[in-house]
A and B are shown apart, each in its own frame.
Chain A
């Protein structure tokens, strides 16, 4: 089986989907001739023509609004917002329109579309190329929010998203595009070509939305995380020797509650981990869900490790990024509670 980077896997998902379904169209800023600033759509315009893959004006509101109209017409747009940080002009279209169209029209009109956005930091992108706005989507009824953490998942989840009848937010942790970055910014990153989750079939396959994956089995603590923080959690578990079970949610909404409950009921301790800012982050929802469903199994307070409640800094990036040191400290703290 071929090993792909996450970029190649995402491109392959669109390629496979465009090949199978003539209604799949791909567009966004720089995605046509050039193939996207991260190269995720490279070659698609050449292969499928400019009416299936094309450049859009610099108008996120227009890109999403036009895609909603296309989806209502009967196409399946898979659009790119160049950085998740640029999503805000499209927020009204996403929240008030895409998310609610099926409900408010009682199924008369639907909006099957995927909005891809590179998310997260670790690339010295400063405050406008590093944000993780997933909680702004998980709070919206009618959207599904997906965050893959590796090439194999990215492809299978993206194909599922494109084939879904609902609007899907597809957040791609850009720091993981080329390898499983674990937060140790002073060390070279393993390439996906040397990682088993880089193994990605060339053809069509899907990974169901709403199903988490256990990345590391353990008995002492459950770490509930997703996206870039999966590897920080794995690194912290190895480095501290804490026998952590690491859950990679893959889909935030719908949430795989069963996987969470099964794990926390077993370990009795829970760390919620994400790169996004702490307050009202998706971790707050996770912590609430854990205490609602696992309260009598808990042996320690639920801890959260997340981005600080500040704008994402530039020069101080590694003081902001919740890397293995902060995660490891939280794991120790959790296991020290008697």
Chain B
């Protein structure tokens, strides 16, 4: 008789009290991965779904075929976007601790992904983001004050106090309304892209999802629809290693990579160093060009690390080693772009320190302005009447009756 069946539950390599262990993350040399033409068939680039495209090497130089054509000014602007996001996070985390809002989610360690991707897009393109892509707004110049008013749910909140903090929405900035239900928007991005193709438009869509949420059935649906209709869409998986307390292996199983899931659908799939601003930008350009030239969808996995807590309601020291983020082999995206700019003579430690001060002053000023319009429990509040508006285009009789019951 064979031995009894064994049930398998994957475990991360390290837990609290242990030493950080990233031996499972194989990091190729910067510049070592080929850059195929965008017309390539997915079957010819299977290896790109298992490798990691990297541009910035250990000396801060941009190397290899994926090194993008970005000016020094572009790069400095990108650095400032990431620094702004980081300063914004710091202030909003503090504001949450001070009770000015109920909730916040920071981006620490993942700033390059959304900031670099955004600048590769064109006006009119539409992102379907998750809750950790505020870099898309910041890199597109969305006003910090408006973001903060949303976070504070105050009288100037563009979403009228209805949404959880950070669940922004801005059609004008190509940022679809965020849902807290994960992966629902991955297939909506495909649908938006299908719509653009049906109308013969030139706009493309971008879907965003985290590593853990790829387990949702919507992910499968999105890939089926994207591949069936060759939708002009870029499907982004941000693999930051952790889904709250659940390590990526619970979603990935033993299958290799998240990018590789595209291959079964005939979707070209790339894996990129998500902490390398230049590599992210370059891969984004490649995938966006494919979408815009009727070559169909691309699946991109950004290998990064969530250096902070999942949200203000989370404490990562309960499930992973305290120093794990320091052991992350792909480093910090802000530091890496800063070092690159210094290495090519376009930046200096002094200018960086000065920029940090300026950016923090800008964020603090925005916060002051936002707080003049109220915070969650103090000052200007959205109207109670706003609960009843926008449920439908016009309030039907039963909502009008209920609104009267509340006395407005």
Residue ranges of A at the interface with B (Cβ–Cβ < 8 Å):
23, 25, 51-52, 56-57, 59, 61-62, 65-70, 72-75, 89, 92-93, 96-97, 101-110, 141-142, 144, 164-166, 210, 253-255, 257
Contact = CB atoms under 8 A, between A and B. Distances in A.
Nearest to A255: B398
Interface in B155-207: 158-160, 162-163, 167, 169-171, 176-177, 179, 181, 184-199, 205
Given A70-B195, A103-B162, A254-B396, A142 B225 contact: no
Nearest to B200: A51
A109 B171 contact: yes
Interface of B: 126, 128, 158-160, 162-163, 167, 169-171, 176-177, 179, 181, 184-199, 205, 217-218, 220-222, 224-225, 228, 390-393, 396-398
A104 B167 contact: yes
B179 A105 contact: no
A286 to B, nearest CB: 13
Nearest 7 Cβ contacts at the A-B interface: A69-B191, A66-B191, A62-B221, A65-B187, A73-B195, A254-B396, A105-B177
A166 B390 CA distance: 10
Contact of B391 (A68, A142, A165): A142
B169 A108 contact: yes
B163 A104 contact: yes
Contacts of B396: 144, 210, 253-254
Nearest to B190: A66
Given A62-B187, A107-B390, A73 B196 contact: yes
A141 B221 contact: no
Which of A65, A165, A255 is most buried by chain B, counting CB atoms within 10 A of its CB? A65
26 contacts: A57-B221, A59-B220, A59-B224, A61-B218, A62-B218, A62-B221, A62-B225, A65-B188, A65-B222, A69-B188, A69-B193, A69-B194, A70-B191, A70-B195, A70-B198, A73-B126, A89-B217, A93-B188, A96-B184, A97-B181, A97-B185, A103-B162, A105-B171, A210-B397, A254-B396, A255-B398
Contacts of A65: 184, 186-188, 190-191, 218, 221-222, 225
Contact of B188 (A97, A104, A105): A97
Nearest to B170: A108
Contact of B392 (A75, A89, A144): A144
A168 to B, nearest CB: 10
